[in-house]
Amino acid sequence: MKFGILASAQYPFEEDLQTRLGELWELTEHAAELDYDSIFMISHFMGNLQTPQSISMVAKLIQHSGDMTVGTGVLLLPLFHPVHIAEEFATLDHLSRGRLVLGVGAGYRDNEYRAFGLDKKRRTSRLTESIELMRRLWTGEEVNFQGKHFQLEGEHIGIRPYQDGGPPIWIGAGAEKSVQRAARIGDAWFAPGNSPKPNWLQTAMGWHDAELAANGRSRDGREYPIVLQLYCAETTEEAREQVKEYVQDSYFAYSEYSQLSWQRTAFDYLWDNVFLIGDPDHIAAKVDALEAIGFNHIVFRPFWTKMPAEMAHRSLSLLAKEVLPRYRQGGTG
């Protein structure tokens, strides 16, 4: 089992961004010292919180992350041209010396697609075509490509990636068809861990693995990452008391988008049944349940809107001391 951080770098507009970014670099270095495995940067445009852009942020995180895997969680690929992303992430792959993952998703916010002048209804075909074209460019060979959205004739990439074939592509997906698509064309399914539907993760894993088998692809050696909310304290009561207002404020801010309005009404269920908020034993029991479903890489959000940075440091330290050793080589699992 691997453990990584989702750097959900979103801050109220009244907060000083320089201060908050400095805290993020320090938290990243702290996580690297504690032997966490990865850190991923979110991606959004024109939001209701100030949100630094992911490509620039990944480049900066590479400097502070030690040996951790660094990636996007997730880049809204249909909003970009795949030639741009192929070149950018080939460059980042070299800057990280192969520690890079490109996590992508289709997005859900109407205002982002309106701002880019793109038809949101075509986002799935743009995402699929972009992945195909990027993989071909990353071979370094001459590419002739005639798609619905993108065309190239006799072109090759300006910089070949550090990793053979390019960085792994993890696809964020939460609906049946998109989960199946992730199994067909992705290197991993980047699962969202915030569904209010009981047993949804087991059901979605069934969709994924059935599609994987149908396409002759093996489960062996694959990453199965899942994104979760996590906070660790000495007792579950302390953990819940310390962070509920921060988690709730963040979820309610997201619920202002019509596509996520359900998060406000479902918050109590998520708080009681889904989030990993508690003492080490409580969190380990939840991790065991996720491992039993088939997940092997926990990527968790360690801080929320307006939360003091020192709380995230304490949580990461306690988790590293009391939980991570149970899942390292020789641990009890």
3-state DSSP assignment of residue 249: helix
Q: Domain spans of the chain?
A: 2-326
Q: Tens of pLDDT along 56-76?
A: 999 999 999 999 999 999 999
pLDDT at res. 329 = 67
Structure tokens at 280: 């080490």
Token pair 């304490």 is found at 314
- Greatest alpha-carbon pair distance for the chain in Å reads 62
Per DSSP, what are the bridge partners of residue 89?
Answer: none
Closest CA to 163 of 226, 93, 257, 235: 93
Residue-level pLDDT at 142: 98
Sign of CA dihedral 145, 146, 149, 150: positive
DSSP 8-state code for residue 110: H
Cα 126 to Cα 129: distance, rounded to the nearest angstrom: 5
Quote the CA–CA distance of 128 and 182 in Å, as a whole number.
10
Q: How far apart are CA 243 and CA 135, in angstroms?
A: 41
Strand ranges in the chain using DSSP code E only, listed in sequence order: 2-7, 38-41, 69-72, 75-76, 100-105, 143-146, 151-155, 169-172, 188-192, 225-232, 276-278, 297-301
- The model's pLDDT over 281-314, given as tens digits with 9 standing for 90+, comes to 999 999 999 999 999 999 999 999 999 999 999 9
pLDDT of residue 153: 97
Please say whether the beta carbons of 194 and 204 come within 8 A.
no
Task: Report the predicted TM-score, pTM, of the whole model to 2 decimal places.
Answer: 0.96
pLDDT < 70 positions in the chain? 329-333
pLDDT the model gives residue 333 = 46
CA dihedral in degrees (5, 8, 12, 14; nearest 10)? 60
Among 133, 137, 150, 200, CA closest to 173: 200
**In the block, residue with structure tokens 């795949």:** 82
Closest residue by Cα to residue 156 from 165, 143, 145: 143
The domain 2-326 belongs to what CATH superfamily? Luciferase-like domain (3.20.20.30)
- Supply the pLDDT for residue 332: 45
How far apart are the C-alpha atoms of 262 and 183, rounded to whole Å?
A: 27
